[in-house]
Structure 1
Amino acid sequence: MKMQKDGGSASKRRDLTCRLFAAAAMTVSAVGLTAAPAAAQISGDVVKIGIVNDQSGPLSDLAGPGSVVAARLALEDFKAMTPSLNVQVVSADHQNKADIGVEVVRRWYEADGVDMVVDVGNSAVALAVQSIARDQKKLVIYAAVGTTDITGSQCSPTGLAWLHDNYNLVSGPIRKLVAQGQDKWFFIAADYAFGQNMVKESQSALAAAGGTSVGAVFHPLGNTDYASFLLQAQSSGADVVAFANAGSQLVTSMKQWNEFGMNSGPQRAVAELMFLTDIHGMGLETAQGLTGVTAWYWDLNDETRAFAKRFFDLHGAMPTAPQASVYSSVLHYLKAVAATGTDETSSVVAEMRAAPVDDFYAPGATLRADNKLVHDFYLVQVKKPAELETPWAYYNVVETIAAADAYSPLSESDCSLAAAAGK
């Protein structure tokens, strides 16, 4: 696989992805249903997919324009399998603001004929979008949305979680580290629905494992100065300082952690949510040794590497787990539309639930009653600089976390869908 060593300059990647974003926002035609009666059941004779996420802010590298690229690749592969279905993709930047996200999605559903929204990538925006999708009886599929409320207390028949939730991300590492004697934790978290929920889930997991939370501080989204938060963590007496933030926030947090010499101190840093682009942004000198849980990694096997090369050729960076999940969810959705001959939400969701996922992302995965896609996860550790042999191959996979162990029990769910299914 030939790649620039550093994935290309940031400016070149921005130029490339801007061009791809503009192209993907236009109509993308794929071929589909062969029977005329089936095509007639597609509203407006077109299937419309909307990608809404942070396109320009602190969470844009991990999804952003790259999610549009991933959707484009899913459409290419669908076209190769199924002739004649007209598909359009539209994209928007919600700027990590719930009111903007709601305005965009409402317009898409009510005026623009969008059938399915995918990605979202911000828990606060997702919770707001969930209610719109429920009211409109339209489908929304979440990629990097961490709050457990989205498939818990605020679950919806039309809201599917394709990537992870905060329980998946924190429960395994907490049990493992507490068992090793690292049982006092301090949290530095983003102050919105995601960070608040992640700390809540972490503290619950800590208590169950016999550990203790010795404090938590919350910073604004997009914060750039973490000195006061780090000093509080340093003086807390915690064994572990856990970062419940992501994107440029995690990158800046960890750079300042090293600048203050805390990387050589007695406390261990844990990134409760980290993405490949975060590691690339902070560099291995800063990131080495960090552990985390991921739903997917591009260097797992030949299939994941083949997709990664296609993605890299278009985007100039390797795909993150959220971007891979956008590919998977778009492809699975389009297969369901083709199989049912309609874009009517309940029929499509029923087909998506009946058919297991068949791709490189989560082969054999199925949707649970609470609308979580159930699949394996991976505990990973960031390599030392001397261990890096292939550009972007930043992780050592420590262990596979089987799907059966990765999710909170359905019997404990507070999702009304689970109750209706007789959990």
Structure 2
Amino acid sequence: MIAVIISIILLVLILIRVPIPFAILGAAGIGLLWVGGLSNLIGIVEVIPMSSIGSNSLAAIPLFIFMAHLVLKSGVLASLFTSASTIIGRVRGGTGIAAVLAGAGFAAVSGSSTAAAATLAHTSTETMQKQGYSKQLASGTVASAGTLAAMIPPSILLVFYAITAETSVGKTLLAGVIPGVLMSIGLASTVWVMGLRGHAPATPATPWRAKLRAVSGLLPIIFLFLLVVGTVFLGIATATEAAALGCLGGFLLMLWKRTVSWTNLRAAVVGTVSSSAMILSIVFAAHVFGIFLTQTRVTPHVIDFVESLPVPAIVVVIIFAFIYLVLGFFMDQMAIIALTVPVTLPVVEALGFDPIWFGIIVILLAEIGLITPPLGLNAFVVSRAANIRVETVFLGSVPFIIAMLIVTALVFVFPDLSLLLTISVK
């Protein structure tokens, strides 16, 4: 009963727009006071900050964020959409497909869905509208393409899940590769189908020489992706070491593009510190909330209850997946992971399912939450950047949500789609 009341308090705090870390910490603090008094709360708050964020694996988060800022400042992403459009050539919905491919490229070096959506909105939405795309389809394509950064390594959400679930960061990142590729294909196929139905025009034909020149615009992205993900896959580096290599790669790209300056480096550092502080504060708050759940023995009670249910184990996981889908409509993705995984993951493991596979399902569902009302963050980002009503963006995202649900169902039914690449990593 205590846990239920505290959960309601937490939900109320989130709904009234209290910042997520303070909402979690406030609710957990009330719960710890209730359970063990002031001495209990003070003792936990004295110990948890260092123990929760002092882990070496957590260093991957600020390093990946710093890498993303360096790449953005290098300017190599500026021509990504143009290069993709040229390579696609004369295809129905080719510009929209190029936006999806550009989104995958952004995902491979940024790890931030909102940054990818904002950049794509500036570079591709207006182009699509000039070619005859409706505002709905143009904005929906861009908003959904931005979600790819939640799955394709080096995804910050994947790293965050791995740390929260205490699984291998390297394996979790690799587990996102095939689902990320499938999601890219699903979104691109949606644009193509919309084109066949007359909602998207064909792009102009481009000669092969222009296509070959355009490939050079993708080489920096391929280089950085192989540097980060390739070293993890081959066992050359851990995820944290790969993140450090990514930072070095990002700086080399800045040198190559001659964009190294005090202003750019300062902006990259400030942006990294700001984002990292937000994420690590959620980690700290979630650890305090986790201790509250431990003291109230919520997880063992949930496991006992679930194991006593007269339904197959897969039905329980389907129910969890539906809950995650609904939570994505209303809550921040990191907050969802921080608050629910400590409760749901032990149940899933007790039922015999792989924790990394479950994490991929959670992230896939979190992607959908980025473009669904009322709080779909990518939809608001694209709306602001492209000066399009947010209702239009939400409507334009509907066909892509269907495609994302289909891909999620495929990964759910065939776990090897997420686990195949993890076999080579210890």
Larger radius of gyration between Structure 1 and Structure 2: 2
Give the structure-1-normalised TM-score.
Answer: 0.29
Report which of the two has the higher share of strand. Answer: 1
Higher relative CO (CA 8 A, sep ≥ 6), structure 1 or 2? 2
